[in-house]
Amino acid sequence: MFVKQHDDSLDSLLRPANWDEYIGQEKIKKHLKIILDAAKKRKEPSDHLLFYGQAGLGKTTLAHMVAKEMNANLKVTSGPAMEKMADLASILSNLERGDIFFIDEAHRLNRMIEEVLYPAMESRKLHIIIGKGPTTKTFSVDLPPFTLVAATTRADLLSAPLRSRFGGIFQLDYYEQKDIENIIKRSAKLLKLAIESEAVSILAKASRATPRVANRLLKRCRDFCEVNNLKKIDGDAAGKTLEVLEIDDMGLEPHDKRFLRIVIEKFNGGPVGVNTLAAALNEDRRVLEDIYEPYLMKLGFLNRTSAGRVITPAAYEHLGLKNEAKLL
Ligand code: ADP
């Protein structure tokens, strides 16, 4: 087990360093600042915090900002990286007063590890069990005050006892078009790129309302301009970059279109159960639920109903297909 470090240099260059640079999510910023200011006043670590929402919306960035705001060290790991109780025990026993302990993909923590976390979060105790059967011994070690910050794409998969131990729970939503445009402009400035406003709006619309995607599209545009000796990213360069990437104007990728077409062609637009659909697409159900469906639902192209997944008229229209969608 290792404690992963985010050391990708471009990523850290683009990562907002303060609240003003963290664009959008105003309600979360406001609420979070109150929690952190109050903790600072009390000279105590803040309550444990949970951030949930789709990948790339800024959960890790918030964890970094919490650490910065609290002037604390950030220790980073993830649910799947901790396989044994000893993995967690070794991180916990090395925590120092005030540290921020960040667990990404918290829904993938195994139950045994969660059970070590509960007393650590609640009463700052680390219970260590040695041996098996009648010779079992339990030691209890006091931990310094620390803050657990957890991030997940699937809060519904966190166990209720774990969820209930967070003092602040924040849901990150998809971003508004204007916020994504501002993120693209800010990143272009940091990367010293000249970009026209038409290109900003084309890229923002195709960014799946997600900052990480926006930054990725901007970087691919930079490549396109470099290869073609263009000094400026204009609308034409942005459009051509999307064409090369096979991303359409609303950010749909080939896998999204395949998803929509299969529901339309094989299941008459739905309703179709998620397991049947996963089998037809030869994908894991979790991939559909975590990656494919949220953005299609955000666009209003897909509905999850009790009878199964249903494609909406807006999706037929976007794909240029005859509108045979059932009225819902
Ligand atoms: P997550 O942890 O939710 O997957 P990250 O925090 O890693 O997402 O964010 C992905 C990238 O998007 C970051 O490198 C950062 O540069 C950018 N980003 C995320 N949120 C914002 C924001 N609110 N304002 C500006 N850039 C952002």
The amino acid present at 147, given as its one-letter code, is T
Confidence (pLDDT) at 325: 52
State the pLDDT at residue 136. Answer: 84
**Best mutation site among 61, 77, 107 for ligand 1 pocket (most ligand atoms within 8 Å of CB):** 61
Rounded to the nearest angstrom, the distance between the alpha carbon of 29 and the centre of ligand 1 is 14
Name 296's Cβ contacts closer than 8 Å, sequence gap at least 6. 256, 259, 260, 302, 315
pLDDT, one tens digit per residue, over 70-96 is 999 999 999 999 988 889 999 999 999
Report the predicted TM-score, pTM, of the whole model to 2 decimal places.
0.92
* Encoded tokens for 8: 């990708």
pLDDT at res. 296: 98
Helix spans in 126-210 (H): 160-163, 177-190, 197-205
Instruction: Check pocket membership of 11 for ligand 1, CB cut-off 6 A.
Output: yes
Closest by alpha carbon to 270, among 225, 220, 315? 315
Report residue 187's pLDDT band, with 50, 70 and 90 as the boundaries.
very high
Given a cut of 70, whether residue 243 has pLDDT beyond it is yes
Give the β-pairing of 137-142 and 302-305: unpaired
| pLDDT, mean of residues 11-27 | 92
Determine the pLDDT at residue 128: 83
Question: pLDDT tier at 272 (50, 70, 90 boundaries)?
Answer: very high
Tens of pLDDT, residue by residue over 119-177, are 999 999 998 877 778 888 888 999 999 999 999 999 988 999 999 999 999 999 999 99
In angstroms, rounded to a whole number, what is the distance separating the alpha carbons of residues 99 and 70?
Answer: 9
Instruction: Report the share of the chain in percent with pLDDT over 90.
Output: 84
Average pLDDT in the 226-242 region?
A: 97
Q: Answer whether residue 6 shows pLDDT above 60.
A: no
Phi, psi of 100 (to 5 degrees): -105, 120
Domains of the chain plus CATH, in order, are 25-171 (3.40.50.300), 177-245 (1.10.8.60), 254-319 (1.10.10.10)
Strand, coil or helix: what is 170?
A: strand
The atom number, within ligand 1, closest to the CA of 186 reads 25
175 alpha carbon, distance to own chain's centre: 12
Cβ(152) – ligand 1 distance below 6 Å: no
Question: How confident is the model at residue 324, as a pLDDT?
Answer: 59
CB atoms within 10 A of CB 86: 12
Question: Could you give the 3-state DSSP secondary structure of residue 4?
Answer: coil
Q: First CA to last CA across the chain, in angstroms?
A: 49
**Confidence at residue 3, expressed as pLDDT on a 0 to 100 scale:** 38
* DSSP run (H or E) holding 8: none
Question: Residue 51 class from Cβ within 10 Å (0-12 exposed, 13-18 middle, 19+ buried)?
Answer: buried
**For range 240-267, the mean pLDDT:** 97
Query: Per-residue confidence at 249, pLDDT binned at 50, 70, 90?
Result: very high
**pLDDT at res. 328:** 45
- Which residues does the annotation mark as catalytic? 59-60, 104, 153, 212
Q: Which helix (H) or strand (E) holds 86?
A: helix 85-93
Average pLDDT score over the chain: 92
Tell me, in angstroms, the distance from the centre of ligand 1 to residue 167's CA: 23
Q: How confident is the model at residue 2 (pLDDT cuts 50, 70, 90)?
A: very low
H-state helical runs in 206-309: 211-227, 235-245, 254-267, 274-281, 285-287, 293-298
pLDDT tens digits, 202-216 = 999 999 999 999 999
Q: Give the atom of ligand 1 at the shortest distance from the alpha carbon of 57.
A: 3
